[in-house]
Each structure stands twice: as C-alpha cells, then as structure tokens.
Amino acid sequence: MYLKRTEGIVIKSYDFGEGHRVVVIFTHRLGKVRAVAKGSRKTKSKFGASLEPLTVNEFMLYRKPGSELAIITGADTLLSNLNLREDMKTYYYCALMLECMDILNTDDDPHPVIYNLFKGALLDIKQGGSLPSITWLFIFRLLKQAGYRLDFFECGKCSTKNFKNPHFAPEEGSVYCSGCLSKRDLSWPVSGEALLSIKKLDSDYKLDKKSQSEIGNIIQKFIKYEFGKNLKSMKFLDRILNNNNSVEMNLKKRKNVFSGINNQVK
C-alpha cells in the first residue's frame, strides 16, 4: 500500500463503472500509472478539467497491495496546456506523442528522463517551435530511451554515408544501401531527402510535407512491426496535413477523440 504525491501528465482516460474514469498518467516518480478518478464523470466532479490529455498535475495517488489500479485522491493542476488542445493541428501532433508514450512505456516503470523529454517537447511547442520537427524528434528520442536506437546516418552493414536507393530495415533498426540489402530482408524505401531531414531535426527546423510523410510512415510501420499496434492518431493527422477541411470540421465537433473512445485505424 502506498500514498504518494508525484507530478504527472495525463495521457488518456476511459469510462469505468458508473460515474468513474480510469486515467492513464505518465508520472515523474512512478512512470506510467493507471488510476481511478472516482466520480470524475459527474457534473460537479472535484477534478474539473484536470484529467484532460496533456494536463500537468500534482497527483496524490493511493494504491492497495496487489491492486493494478491506483486511486486518484487529489489532482492540483500545474499546467492546463489548454492551448495545445484548442488548435486541431497542434492537438493531433500532441496526440501522436501521447499515443507513443502509452505504447512504448510499461506500467509502473519509473523513467524520469522520458518524463522530462516529453514535458520539454510540449514546452517547445508552446514556445512556437516547429511542430512536426519537435514531434518526430521526440518520438525518435523516446524510441531510443525505450531501447530502440534507429540509425539513419550510415549503412548498417558497410557504414557508407553515400546512399543509393536506401531502405530502412526494421529488424536491424538501420538503413541499408542498395548493395548491402538482401532481397529476403523486410525493408521500406526512404529517400535521401528524408534522411537528410532526420539528421537536421531540431525544434526550429522546417520540414517539407514529403519528408514529414516519409518519416511518419517509417515510425508508423516500425511501431507496427515491433509492437503489433497501429498508431490511431496518424489517421487524423494525415487527413489534416492533406488539408481535408471537412474532416477537420467534423473533428471539432468531438470534444476529445482520445478520451475514452477507441478509434481503429485501418
């Protein structure tokens, strides 16, 4: 049994019983925690908007021995990050980061470095950095912290940096030149322009749409390969990036696509 206070960022939530929600939180001290917010679906809930995705709170968590779920006994909002949810384009980039945080982290595994990386990425976005670059750079750093260091800078076999028809091989987590790639290897083509863009990623680097699409495709396929899961948020992000205004208008009618709604991406 424990009663602990820790800072945490809300990843997602879903309905639980009558009037309650289970909230998935990535905390600074405890890692990813699933906790029940009792009465949080009621009109006069004491939690208010503190359980919305991206909100940074000081949580008080109580857990009984052997229980998979903690109980949220208190949540004091430190950063609402409301501006990150109000703009649909910004929100769906953030939702992609939230989804990767959920997939790549196991429950109750403390990792302060990942917490600080995520909080820092959100701060970079709020300060007006390049939204796509911040997002992809964060996901690459997250993968590295989770034990998946992807190498796009030299051939995984001959170490050449002068690529011709490069392909990314997920099993090795590396790119291969055409001379080293076996026909039996699972791989995906990637352009030299996209590789150069990955190398230049920082909070101010402006990505073109073609490189964005290639980088997103690599990340999505790699996570599917390693974890067997589709990135649901990529479906909405792709539509917004393709200037599908009708989709954006429909999305605005929904308060929170990733709060308690299980959308499947085909």
Give the HSE-up count for residue 51: Cα atoms under 13 Å, Cβ half-sphere. Answer: 27
Q: Are residues 134 and 55 in the same domain?
A: no
Q: Are residues 144 and 213 in the same domain?
A: yes
φ/ψ region of 72 (left if φ > 0, alpha if ψ in -120 to 50, else beta) reads beta
Domain boundary among 80, 99, 114: 80
**Residue 161 placed within a domain:** yes
CB crowding 174-189: b at 16 or more within 10 Å, else e? bbbbeebbeeeeebbe
Per-residue model confidence as pLDDT tens digits over 70-102: 999 999 999 999 999 999 889 999 999 999 999
Q: Are residues 177 and 247 in the same domain?
A: yes
Q: What H or E segment, with its residue span, contains residue 64?
A: none
Q: Are residues 212 and 93 in the same domain?
A: yes
CATH number, domain containing residue 231: 1.20.1440.120
**Residue 257 placed within a domain:** no
Q: Are residues 42 and 75 in the same domain?
A: yes
Q: What H or E segment, with its residue span, contains residue 175?
A: strand 174-176
**Residue 24 placed within a domain:** yes
Instruction: From residue 32, give the alpha-carbon distance in Å to each of 79, 145, 191.
Output: 19, 15, 36
Q: Are residues 70 and 127 in the same domain?
A: no
Side by side, the strands of the sheet bearing 151-155 are 151-155, 174-176, 167-169, 188-189
Domain boundary among 55, 80, 105: 80
| Pairwise CA distance, residues 95 & 49, whole Å | 17
Per-residue model confidence as pLDDT tens digits over 100-118: 999 999 999 999 999 999 9
Average pLDDT of the residues of the chain = 87
Nearest one of 215, 187, 189 to 201, comparing CA atoms: 215
Nearest one of 69, 147, 148, 159 to 108, comparing CA atoms: 69
Q: Are residues 70 and 158 in the same domain?
A: no
**19 Cα distance to chain centroid:** 28
Question: Residue 248's pLDDT is what?
Answer: 42
Q: Are residues 213 and 140 in the same domain?
A: yes
Per-residue model confidence as pLDDT tens digits over 217-264: 999 999 999 999 999 999 888 877 676 544 443 444 444 434 443 333
| Pairwise CA distance, residues 223 & 187, whole Å | 14
What's the predicted TM-score (pTM) here?
A: 0.87
- Total length of the chain: 266
**Average pLDDT score over residue span 15-40:** 92
Q: Are residues 103 and 46 in the same domain?
A: no
Q: Are residues 112 and 124 in the same domain?
A: yes
**Residue 259 placed within a domain:** no
Number of folded domains in the chain?
Answer: 2
Per-residue model confidence as pLDDT tens digits over 153-182: 999 889 988 888 899 999 889 999 888 887
CATH number, domain containing residue 12: 2.40.50.140
**Structure tokens belonging to residue 100:** 């990767």
Q: Are residues 74 and 88 in the same domain?
A: no
Q: Helix or strand or coil: residue 231?
A: coil
Domain boundary among 80, 95, 123: 80
Question: Residue 109's pLDDT is what?
Answer: 95
Containing domain of residue 24, as a range? 2-80
